[in-house]
Chains A and B, each alone.
Chain A
Amino acid sequence: MELRILAAPAEQQALLDLPWDMPLEEWPEWYLVALPRGISRHVVRFTRLNGRVYALKEVVESFAVREYQLLRDLERLGVPAVEAVGIVRGRQEPGGAPLESVLVTRHLQFSLPYRALFARMMRRDTVERLIDALVALLVRLHLLGFFWGDCSLSNTLFRRDAGAFAAYLVDAETGELHRSLSDGQRRHDIENARVNIAGELMDLQAGGRMDDTIDPTAMPDLVVDRYESLWQELTGWEAFDVNDRWRIARRVERLNELGFDVAELDIVTDIGGRTVRVQPKVVDPGHHSRRLIRLTGIDAQENQARRLLNDLDAYAARTEQQGEDEEIVAYHWVTDAYEPVLRAIPRDLRAKLTGPEIYHEVLEHRWYLSEQAGREVGIVEAARAYVDNVLRHKPDEDAVLEGPPTQPDLPVVVADELGAT
């Protein structure tokens, strides 16, 4: 048996102790953790070691190796995806019968499969936000030359992102990395996404877990529309009169608003010099996250970062620091607004959400309280109210478990999506 792991030494030791000489399906309960697994054609199990959760997928060796390498490549490219930890090959049962390899990935903290994103019923706006998140991920992958091959809600994990969702790729099994993608490849990916999402929504409906007003066969058309418009925005040629050069700046701004930095622009004037054509050449997602981390050191997702930066701007206006050096203002905002809010959260409730998400929710809650009270409620007061009225009642999301809300470390019986245990 060969264990190729990229884990830290503590992780390695813990991974070595797992019962590799048994088929994954037969692993005893006490090794496992129940997580909503999504629909998979392979055997997938989760295990918790030293407080971190790992996903284990049993596949033939060539597939495990290939997917492992792809996930590593995606990590290097900065794509939001699960992290590859290692492969276990050459497994055998005690009698010598060979067992398939296992791909080990680290579960993304605070990420959720789509089926866990709603308590009882999936609502229309949730579906739309999920589609938006998936489209944003798909566009990003396509820009990098990555062909997914099986884009679906089940192959994605979602993190809350200030009212929206950020999508992370989970299954790279059918993926391919090319220098760039042909139109046919991109269209194939979108069509797959459309059909898969329709099937997943139909399944939710069949299980009685979706709002009746949603038409699962029509909703996924949104995927195509939103993809096309985002793709056009990011890569399309735009032509205008040479006197309207402000439009170039406007194009860049629009891309920034969408969360992309423009690293290169192609600007071409025609022979007469009358028309200018502009096409973004290199676009990097994460415009707001980068700006936030540069100014404050806070690591947040794109939409969260946008929210926090807006709050920073509002703070600057309120405290009349608008003319000041932005780094100084940012520093003051962190010490006067951000940190006090996080300090107001009791330690035992910190596992519920990430810091930036909590801050965003406190901002929302403050708006709501201010409306109710008819006056401007202070941020720390809002934070305390938020803790009591909202946060206490939320489930822990650092690793979502199925079953009753007990301490996270208590193992729960594995729940297979298809009903088998």
Chain B
Amino acid sequence: MASAAIPANQIPETKTNYLTNGYSLKSWLLTTDHKRIAVLYLISITAFFFLGGFFAMLIRLELLTPASDLMHADTYNKAFTMHGMIMVFFFLIPVVPATLGNFLVPMMIGAKDLAFPRINLLSWYLYIIGGGLILHCMLTGGVDTGWTFYTPFSTAFTNTKIIEAGLAAFIAGFSSIFTGLNFIVTIHRMRAPGLTWSRLPLFIWAQYATSIIMILGTPVVAITIVLVAVERLFHLGIFDPRLGGDPLLFQHLFWFYSHPAVYIMILPSMGVISELITAFSRKRVFGYRFVALSSIAIAVIGFLVWAHHMFVAGISLYAAMIFSFLTFFVGVPSAIKVFNWTATLYKGSISYATPMLYAFGFIGLFTIGGLTGLFLATLGIDVHVTDTYFVVAHFHYVMVGGVVMGFLGGMHFWWPKISGRLYPEGWAKLSALLVFVGFNLTFFPQFILGYLGMPRRYADYSAMPDFQVLNVLSTAGASVLAVGYLLPMIYFLWSLRYGPRAEANPWAAAGLEWMTASPPPTFNFDETPVVTWEAYNYEELDHLKEQKEVAVG
């Protein structure tokens, strides 16, 4: 279509695709092509991931010994704040929606682009502005409140750069609001003919649920951060008890968003896993409707559980009981997903390709992360383990073990589509193994540390030197994990130049995105596809393939 306007001086096999449609910097920085924006996001988010990882390594190195000897306590506090802020606002929240989601949502539903391409580009610029601010903030002094900005510490007792950091989070928040808005409109209005809701890939369902949370939750944290900043500037006192304010109000408003934000992070990865499991067992997902609706259920119930972060914060006994009870409800849809994925494997034809290894890893780690979440929802246990390393281990199992495993699995799966190249399978398998082993070595000891009573955010644990053994284990694991994360970046870059060319559908997978060239043309499809089949129609696909083989043979 686009090539119609271009003189036919192209070699047929390298027909213009989205990557070759213009090489100038301007053609990238002013693009409205969702695929190019996805690539821009991929580059910038990867950069932030390694920056956040750098801070993680600093933290782990400091904790190698009980005393605070590598850096001053203040520096340590800034390091974990930066780690948290960068990882949460600039990596975990956007990572899957803004990269894979941006690339795949229009392709999976047979659209030429997202509904609002320019707003999509604006999202990326907002992300970059927010990211630039946080970098500036980091280089000119940093912040030491932790990513949670608890008041009144943040409003009245620290003299670090709260306003700038808050502004960075605020702007990044708007970037994700716009992404969510774009996805919802696109999914509602731009599906290809015949692509009914019950035929949508589960990745789309997950993105849809995520977008609902982005739209409803992010504005609340945005206004909360604004109030913190304004309170610092003008001494308003809305959260300051000395002026009659209530610091718990801040926690309520903050967690009203930040708990659902956890689902912004994990839901898209769950969507990825649904795609991987079906593609590599060549089966329709077990219980499609339940998997799809469980995403929506998580998004909705996720808004009703925020105060479970506050069981020891001074809320009333009965509020705590209600929120504990509601929290167990969130466990159900998450459990449904895990059970359905497992059941999908039954009588499948299971391949051990790298993306599938990541999917197995996801199930393994997310199961542990989810179950330990139940520990924290259980009031009597939460009192002891909250604010200890138990919590740290729990959310890393969900965030890193879940989100990052899903992201990497998805990157391997769709890399041929994004880049048009195949990655080296052997190295990829090695890195999947390293990530899994390194992850468990890093974070499992932290569960034990937490139950033994090591509090979070301690630069110095010389009061309890016996915690050192487990901390050393954890730091050792982190080194393995770092190698596991660096490897894919290296071989993905390598494959851009040396990897074998990928065909349109190297995995013989179902889904509209595989029905167009790799890499796809600028407007995705030469003709708008008309969908007459259900999602994950592997039976038909295999049948067609057999027929073809017979015909050729």
Genuine A/B complex:
no
**Which residues of A approach B to under 8 Å, CB–CB?**
none
